[in-house]
Amino acid sequence: MIQFMQQLINGISLGSIYALIALGYTMVYGIIKLINFAHGDIYMLGAYIGFVFATKTGMGFIPTLIVAMITCSIIGVVIEMIAYKPLRNATRITALITAIGVSYFIEASTQKVMGTNPRAFPNLLPKGNLNISGVVITYQQIFILVVTVLLMIGLQFVVTKTKIGRAMRAVSVDTDAARLMGVNVDQTISFTFALGSALAGAAGVLVGIYYNSINPLMGLVPGVKAFIAAVFGGIGIIPGAMLGGILIGVTEALVSGYGSSLYKDAVVYVILIIILVVKPAGLLGKNVREKV
């Protein structure tokens, strides 16, 4: 039981980070139907921006998090403007390949500027842990969970309660109808990229702190995992991405704990395959049937 609780807690803290990244995938997909494969690299950039900012200024956790989030949101908007906006009317495969190109570009540029070796991320959160009858929870895990929950609540507020959030949902349901209401669709898409990239940037800083080590290719695997999380929950559905992220994190932790950590990725992919076969629209997705 203690082992189970322990793995559950590890899984939830890891999964909440996947969820943060998955939200960006899902929001961008919801609005322009693009799987933004460069999204995992935004997360990596968030970690590097946090690293440079924290080591150069010696500032603490909160300022580092905010700087990483803001910088990433700007980078996300610029990428959308340069790489995806000109392809708005192109086929989806064109945009997808472009996204992969952007991903390689960001990775290679980071390797060039920061070097290929891993860097040690400064310790921005207090060390130590709580021991609740044998289950160990580190302060870092608590911090990660608190920060991700706050960010998700904030996102949910923006999406459901604000005018721009309404516009985001309207554009994702019916772009032309939103245009007929006077919504500036390009601005709404930019805003979506800004929001998603900010969350990825936050995830980058949190992972940097959690694992203590960052490298230019660190976005690859979590990027794919987060993508799976988004598909798992139902791509385009925001609560689905949160749920998917947590579930994948917990699955990985449980597989590592009870089986072997060698199998954790395999199990995640097997789950993806099962989901795609059994419920292709994802856990919270609706099977859309055209009404005639």
Partner 1 sequence: MLKIEDLNVHYGVIHALKGVSLEVKQGEIVSLIGANGAGKTTLLHSISGIIKSTSGSIIFEDNDITKRSAKDIVSYGVTQVPEGRRIFKGMSVEENLYMGAYLRSDKDGIHKDLESVFERFPRLKERIKQNAETLSGGEQQMLAMGRALMARPKILLLDEPSMGLSPLLVKEIFKIIIDINKQGTTILLVEQNAKMALGIANHAYVLENGKIVLSGLGHELANSPDVKKAYLGG
Q: Is 178 in the site for partner 1 (CB under 8 A)?
A: yes
Distance of alpha carbon 87 from alpha carbon 196, whole angstroms = 20
Considering only 182, 262, 278, 287, the residue that binds partner 1 (CB under 8 A) is 182
Q: Exactly one of 100, 108, 150, 173 binds partner 1 (CB under 8 A); which one? A: 173
Report the run of H or E that residue 130 belongs to, with start and end. strand 129-132
CB of 205 within 8 A of CB of 45?
no
Binding flag, residue 281, partner 1 (CB under 8 A): no
Question: Is residue 33 close enough to count as binding partner 1 by CB under 8 A?
Answer: no
Record the tokens describing residue 215, joined without a space: 């490298």
Which residues in 145-164 contact partner 1 (CB under 8 A)? 163
Residue 279 engages partner 1 in binding (rule: CB under 8 A):
no
Distances from the Cα of 25 to the Cαs of 4, 28, 223, in angstroms? 30, 5, 9
In angstroms, give the least distance from the CB of 168 to partner 1. Answer: 11
Q: Is 132 in the site for partner 1 (CB under 8 A)?
A: no
Q: How far apart are CA 235 and CA 205, in angstroms?
A: 25
CB of 31 to partner 1, least distance (A): 13
Give CA–CA dist 172/146, Å, rounded: 29
* 179 belongs to the binding site for partner 1 (CB under 8 A): yes
174 binds partner 1 (CB under 8 A): yes
Tokens of 4: 């189970």
CB nearer to partner 1: pick between 166 and 264: 166
Query: In the chain, how long is the greatest CA-to-CA distance?
Result: 61
Q: How far is the CB of 178 from partner 1 (least distance, A)?
A: 7
- Min dist CB 238 to partner 1, Å, is 11
Chosen residue from 181, 266, 270, 276 binding partner 1 by CB under 8 A: 181
Q: What residues are paired with 119 via a beta bridge?
A: 214
Residue where the block lists tokens 């990239």: 197
Of 110, 119, 136, 107, which Cα lies nearest the Cα of 212? Answer: 119
For residue 90, state whether it binds partner 1 (rule: CB under 8 A): no
Q: Which stretch binds partner 1 (CB under 8 A): 54-62, 74-82, 103-111, 171-179?
A: 171-179
Task: Give how many residues touch partner 1 by CB under 8 A.
Answer: 16
Q: How far is the CB of 235 from partner 1 (least distance, A)?
A: 15
Q: Say how many CA atoms lie within 13 Å of 56 toward its Cβ.
A: 9
Contacts (CB under 8 A) with partner 1, residues 231-260: none
Q: Per CB under 8 A, does 176 bind partner 1?
A: yes
Distances (CA, A) of 91 to 94, 97, 179, 183, 188: 5, 10, 21, 23, 21
> Which residues form the interface with partner 1 (CB under 8 A)?
163, 166-167, 169-170, 173-174, 176-184
